[in-house]
Structure 1
Amino acid sequence: MRTAWEIDGTTWRLRLRLDPEDTLTATGQDGRAIELLTDRCRIELPEPAGGVHPDLRALAAWLILQPWAGRRVSFDQPVSSYFAEAIQAGWGVVAGPVDPGLAPRAAGPVAGLSYSGGYDSLAVSLMLPPETPHLFFRRVPHPRVPNRATHVKFDVAQRLVEEAGGRGRRVAVVRSDLEYLTLPFPMLPTWPAFAIGLTLLADRLDLGAIAFGTVLESRFLHNGRRFSRDGVSAWAQPFAAAGLPMLRPAAGMTEVLTLGLAAGSDLGDLARSCLLGTNQSPCLACVKCLRKELILAALRRGPLPAELLRRIPATHRVARELLDGGPPFYFQDMLEYGLARARVDGTFLAALRDRLSPTIAGTAWAEHYYPPTLDLEVPPPWRPTIARFVADRIGLMTADEVTTVQTWDAASRPALANVLR
């Protein structure tokens, strides 16, 4: 794979050139098959990037092309040996050309937040100083690829994010059509690609870390299905090599914590995880809305919204996937937590609650912070700040609760296995 950046003011255009060993098909997020549809995309920054370290330039390209890279990748400027080694270590891909005399980029003192406007990234915003740069990734049409997701309202999320900028946050928007490279759409080629704007602006903003809203379920529990070892993500290596270590403080928090923190904040009314609704409300008819509203109802010890239950009856596809599927369920720990506390009698969720009843009582661990996260996902310059926030606002898990996380296996939990025999 070969790359070429063309820069025109605040617009960066990337062109990919495949080598014979490269492929048009690859494995994307969550193991799904993806296809490369076109060879170019653009990123429109909110301000000129100025001089950009070659490793940052290469990292931005790698965020886009990684799934389709073969045995080697050739960037359009020589990179440091440190960055090339990170690509080799993470994916076994030979990166070049390498300039042995190029010093690695030095990390700055500022953290930037990849801000989606959802509950998880808002929770991270609360953990960082108000002057933290918040950069929102806005999908825009591609000149060569049709929009296959006209039902997704990307403009709604942007308006809500921009309103957050009027409430004391430092918010900017990067516009890009890079998702159109990937079939099915909408899907990023790599999960950290949301941070491509912060990557290109890192020198301009003097960044020394990029913060993400990754939660415990995504980082440590394979989306609530089973625990994974406390290793280092392959993506952490090239970010660190480019002087931008990942900062993922929410990786110690379940969605119970991020929703609770976000909903009770000054931006709580603007938080939105659903991209199918309007300015006024989420769609209340998708699986994400069901999970979020179940957790919020659990925090209130109340019922789910009547409108959601009207739009998702027992015959709805989302309901049938729960009633007829699993275990393991997607974000099963959050299902168990919510069903143990929300008032679901008289709804289709009552049947699911009764099915999971042997295990839903022991879910209080989800209200506390997973301690290893502070060492694994919070770089040292930000560790004292995050640790103080956790101590003041959340509290750490007990040793028994840590064991619950580290032995989590939704498919084979003993009590659940007994009831399903």
Structure 2
Amino acid sequence: MKVFFNEIENRIWEFSVELEEGESKKAFSFNAGRQEMELQDTSCRFYFDFKPNFPHPDLLALGLLKIFSPFVHRKISFPYPISPAFNDAIKQHYGFFSDTVDENLLPRKSSSGRKAVSFSGGADSVAAASLMPDDTVLIQCCRVKHQNIPLRERWYKVDANKKTLENMPECYSKILVETDFEYLMWNGSYCVYPDNYSFTIPCIFLADHFDIDFIATGDIHAGLTGNETMFNKKFEPNGKALYKAVGLELDSPVKSISEVGTTLINVKTGLHEITTTCAYGEFKKPCMKCIKCFRKYLISAAVGEVSLDEAVLSRFFQHPPVIKFLTNTSRQGIEWIPTLKYIFNKIKNKNPIMRLLEEKVSIYPIDPGYVDKYYSPAVSGLSDVDVKKSVQSKIKNILPSMTDKEESEFQSLNTVKFFEEKKYNAELAEKVREIEFFLAIERYINNRSSEKRIKFNDVNYLVKKYFFLQGDLYPNIISTLASGLYSKVAGRISKILFGRR
């Protein structure tokens, strides 16, 4: 592969590639999930609000690798020769090499030691910024339409994230970099990051301009595994050796905590209201339809920021992402179980679907006592001395640390054993069946039609099991069902629930 560089009007950097023999526009992403993807165009642009200082060639090369590395077959030619040391790092990490090397070029080093956050505007990113030194640079990677590619993911909105950056405290330097590189990779359904931490490219390109030696991400401890119920012994981002080869440390100041912890940090620093966690909504107005909004809504209730509203819950239960989460029996169905168990320890709700979700998560033998605390070994393991000092001094004033017992519980997390137990799978399947039943009732009430026929035997079984609900089960279920198709079933429910036993 050959990569070419063109600077337009001092503030636009354009990169284009030429594929060589043995290379294809189809490849697998190096990012989590290893998605198959196809290169939609051979060029991309980065738009700056100022003329940046031109970076060390190794920095430029690292940024380009974060875009094009999956499509390289044997070697890559960069616009400017790189150092031999960085070429060795490329060989070790990717298995290919560069044929543009300056044997006399020294590796890049930072002199001032300034820190940056690869800032999205999400809750974890905002919390990460709050734990960093006050002169930290917040650099946001923001997508814009590609001039040669049809607009993808029309639902994806970035204005709210920009507003979050604008509203961050003035002690930070706030930098917005717009780019169309995210549209280059397409898997047939959505855009795909080509490599781990591709969103840090603007931080890499601006590292010499701000003399940066540390890039912070917003990875909470679940972000390092993609599953809150799996413990990661490493507690380090993938591929940080590549960053180290160009004089950058890559780490997360919030890797010691859960998303409950980042929420508590944002509440206590007064920044919770400006966080943007939803890609579908507007600033301070999330869509309240997606699974992330559902989870964040429950967490906000657990930490006392909102009160659960029956109408809001009812709307959530009508949307496919939430329904899929509630009824999932695969690995995806047990992610975030510790957080959900923590939530149900904090809030009690009479909604039958919420009660069933509570029962579903109670199947898992996990004590959530550590969820609102930080894991001190992860803080001690931060790779930068100044960042470690800042995090240690700030986090202890907001969150308690895990006890020895809680650390042991946290370190023992492993979901694999659950899927090896037939009893566990049977319990989960039964609970999902019950959730599906109440979701069907919910749909019938809201749509006056049933997408799934509710059988009398199902009603009889479930109403008996949930007799303790008494009148807490929606009264309008009875009147609605009695008005039409399910009048016989309604009579049975009414008889059991409301005292005529």
Residue-by-residue CA offset, 1:75-103 (whole Å, 9 max, x unaligned)? 12111122122222222222342223211
Q: CA deviation at 1:413?
A: 4.5
Per the alignment, residue 30 of structure 1 pairs with 32
Per the alignment, residue 436 of structure 2 pairs with none
Per the alignment, residue 278 of structure 2 pairs with 274
Q: CA deviation at 1:27?
A: 2.7
Distance in 1, Cα, partners of 2:252 & 2:358: 32
Distance in 1, Cα, partners of 2:61 & 2:185: 20
Task: Specify whether residues 91 and 262 from structure 1 end up closer, same or farther in structure 2 by C-alpha distance, changes over 3 A only.
Answer: same
What amino acid is the match of 2:174? Answer: V
Q: Is the 8 A contact 2:257 2:371 kept in 1?
A: yes
Q: CA deviation at 1:131?
A: 2.6
TM-score (normalised: structure 1): 0.91
SS across alignment from 2:197:
helix
What amino acid is the match of 2:166? Answer: E
What amino acid is the match of 1:119? Answer: A
Per the alignment, residue 387 of structure 1 pairs with 392
SS across alignment from 1:56:
helix
Task: Specify whether residues 231 and 265 from structure 1 end up closer, same or farther in structure 2 by C-alpha distance, changes over 3 A only.
Answer: closer
* RMSD across aligned positions (CA): 2.5
State which of 98, 101, 118 in structure 2 corresponds to 1:98.
Answer: 101
Per the alignment, residue 15 of structure 1 pairs with 16
Q: Is the 8 A contact 2:133 2:390 kept in 1?
A: no
Distance in 1, Cα, partners of 2:238 & 2:96: 12
Say whether 1:373 aligns with 2:391.
no
Say whether 1:222 aligns with 2:226.
yes
Worse-superposed segment, 258-267 or 286-295? 258-267
Per the alignment, residue 283 of structure 1 pairs with 287
Per the alignment, residue 6 of structure 2 pairs with 6
State which of 201, 211, 221 in structure 2 corresponds to 1:206.
Answer: 211
What amino acid is the match of 2:403? Answer: T
Q: CA deviation at 1:376?
A: 4.2
Distance in 2, Cα, partners of 1:38 & 1:404: 48
Say whether 1:182 aligns with 2:159.
no
The structure whose residues are more often strand, as a share, is 1
Q: Is the 8 A contact 2:122 2:277 kept in 1?
A: yes
Distance in 2, Cα, partners of 1:415 & 1:71: 42
Instruction: Work out the number of aligned pairs and report it.
Output: 419
Q: Is the 8 A contact 1:248 1:378 kept in 2?
A: no
Residue-by-residue CA offset, 1:207-253 (whole Å, 9 max, x unaligned)? 1111111110011x432242333175442011111111113111111
Task: Specify whether residues 26 and 335 from structure 1 end up closer, same or farther in structure 2 by C-alpha distance, changes over 3 A only.
Answer: farther
Worse-superposed segment, 241-250 or 337-346? 337-346
SS across alignment from 2:3:
strand
Q: Is the 8 A contact 1:113 1:135 kept in 2?
A: yes
Distance in 1, Cα, partners of 2:120 & 2:296: 16
Say whether 1:119 aligns with 2:123.
yes
Distance in 1, Cα, partners of 2:172 & 2:234: 33
Distance in 2, Cα, partners of 1:148 & 1:416: 42
Say whether 1:62 aligns with 2:65.
yes
Q: Is the 8 A contact 1:336 1:360 kept in 2?
A: no
Q: CA deviation at 1:176?
A: 0.3
Worse-superposed segment, 228-237 or 275-284? 228-237
SS across alignment from 1:297:
helix
Residue-by-residue CA offset, 1:95-143 (whole Å, 9 max, x unaligned)? 3422232111112410011111111011011112333111112111101
Structure 1, unpaired ranges of 5+: none
1:133-212 to structure 2, matched below 5 A, reads 133-164=137-168, 167-184=170-187, 185-212=190-217
1:236-315 to structure 2, matched below 5 A, reads 236-300=240-304, 303-306=307-310, 308-313=312-317
Q: Is the 8 A contact 2:159 2:282 kept in 1?
A: no
State which of 391, 405, 410 in structure 2 corresponds to 1:405.
Answer: 410
What amino acid is the match of 1:177? Answer: D
Distance in 2, Cα, partners of 1:283 & 1:131: 33
Q: Is the 8 A contact 1:109 1:208 kept in 2?
A: yes
SS across alignment from 1:372:
helix
What amino acid is the match of 2:43? Answer: R
SS across alignment from 1:204:
coil
Distance in 2, Cα, partners of 1:30 & 1:121: 19
Q: Is the 8 A contact 2:215 2:249 kept in 1?
A: yes
Q: Is the 8 A contact 2:3 2:16 kept in 1?
A: yes
Residue-by-residue CA offset, 1:29-68 (whole Å, 9 max, x unaligned)? 3312222111110001232222310111101101111222
What amino acid is the match of 1:41? Answer: C
Say whether 1:78 aligns with 2:81.
yes
Per the alignment, residue 136 of structure 2 pairs with 132
Q: CA deviation at 1:181?
A: 0.2
Bigger relative CO (Cα 8 Å, ≥ 6 apart): 1
Q: CA deviation at 1:414?
A: 9.5
What is the percentage of aligned positions where both structures have the same residue?
24
SS across alignment from 1:251:
coil
Per the alignment, residue 362 of structure 1 pairs with 367
Distance in 2, Cα, partners of 1:406 & 1:350: 29
Task: Specify whether residues 413 and 266 from structure 1 end up closer, same or farther in structure 2 by C-alpha distance, changes over 3 A only.
Answer: same
Q: Is the 8 A contact 2:152 2:183 kept in 1?
A: no
